[in-house]
Amino acid sequence: MTIGHSLVIFDVEGTLVDSSALTLRCWQETLQAFGFEFPLATLQRHSGQDPHDMLHALLPGPHVTRVVPRLIEAQGRRFRDEYLPHVRAFPEVRALFEAVGPEVHILVNCAGVLASTARAPEIALEHWEKAFAVNARGTFLCCKHALPRMPRGAAIVNVASVAGIVGVPNRAAYSASKGAVISFTRALAVDHVTDGIRVNCVCPGTIDTPWIDRVVDELGESRDALVARQPLGRLGTPDEVAEAVVYLASDRAAFATGSQLVVDGGRTAA
């Protein structure tokens, strides 16, 4: 991840877990506490490196082992205490992008919640609204505040789902909200193509993450059944989805906009 590009990343529940411009500031302040003064420009020159490699390049060797634990602790504390907006909260998302700075080159909207595992008549209104608040409104709010900061050549990747393409039993709220993300992606692509901004989405199938463990443990669904419905005979991995996101965000996908990249082990083709 190139931290000089002001990447803003939320976890699957919609909470901010990393922001590159904010990361640089946090590192600068932590290094200052140890008596090391580095301008942001110096840190940014090393921003493509692993943090440990960056510190070895900047600090005398014996100091690295002292600084790393404090750096991790300080970064986590700052994000938790100061930069934990939820993607569905308009004022907080606006404030976040104001803090990030004047330019956003890449935005990946990955926050999502299942909210409900029921058919429409049994879905509680609050669960329907939660699905749309995080999955659809959250995507809208981040795009709304990122787009005015995006130069030509910037890219947005929205993470939708195959549930927005094909019907999935007991996923009505989730499917509808992810279908909205797919349609929103197409609309943004058309609206901003003349601005030189590309907008695409990735549609994962069933991916082996802690979210699947929750589906199995809390909702009583069978992992074997989840695997059995995959034509490739296994669940996908987070890395496989990440590779798709990185491709669409990169210049290698310069001719792709308004598209859906399906990463589902063949499920929608079966």
Catalytic site residue 174?
yes
Tokens 């990946």 -> residue: 108
| Number of domains the chain is built from | 2
Strand 155-159, strand 16-19: pairing: unpaired
CA-CA distance, 134 to 141, in Å (whole number)?
A: 10
Q: What is the pLDDT of residue 1?
A: 25
Q: What is the pLDDT of residue 4?
A: 31
- Of 6, 174, 200, 241, which is the active-site residue? 174
Last residue of a domain, one of 82, 98, 125: 82
Q: Tell me the helices (H) and strands (E) count for the chain, helix number first.
A: 11, 6
Whether residues 102 and 186 share a domain: the answer is yes
Does 117 reside within a domain?
yes
Does 125 reside within a domain?
yes
CA-CA distance, 31 to 49, in Å (whole number)?
A: 17
CA-CA distance, 30 to 74, in Å (whole number)?
A: 7
- On the CB side of 254, how many CA atoms lie within 13 Å of its CA? 4
Q: Is the distance from CB of 30 to CB of 74 less than 8 angstroms?
A: yes
Whether residues 102 and 26 share a domain: the answer is no
Whether residues 53 and 143 share a domain: the answer is no
| Strand, coil or helix: 157 | strand
Whether residues 183 and 59 share a domain: the answer is no
CA-CA distance, 201 to 257, in Å (whole number)?
A: 9
Q: What is the pLDDT of residue 7?
A: 44
pTM: 0.72
CA-CA distance, 89 to 82, in Å (whole number)?
A: 15
CA-CA distance, 18 to 26, in Å (whole number)?
A: 11
Domain holding 65, by residue range, is 20-82
Q: What is the pLDDT of residue 92?
A: 78
Please report which residue ranges of the chain form alpha helices under DSSP H.
Answer: 20-33, 40-45, 51-58, 61-82, 90-100, 125-131, 138-146, 172-192, 210-219, 223-228, 238-249
Strand 16-19, strand 8-10: pairing: antiparallel
Q: For residue 136, what is the DSSP state?
A: I
**Encoded tokens for 238:** 């987070």
Q: What is the pLDDT of residue 21?
A: 53
**Encoded tokens for 43:** 């840190």
pLDDT along the chain (270 residues), means of 10: 37 48 63 74 65 67 61 53 60 80 88 87 94 92 94 96 92 95 98 98 92 76 88 93 93 97 93
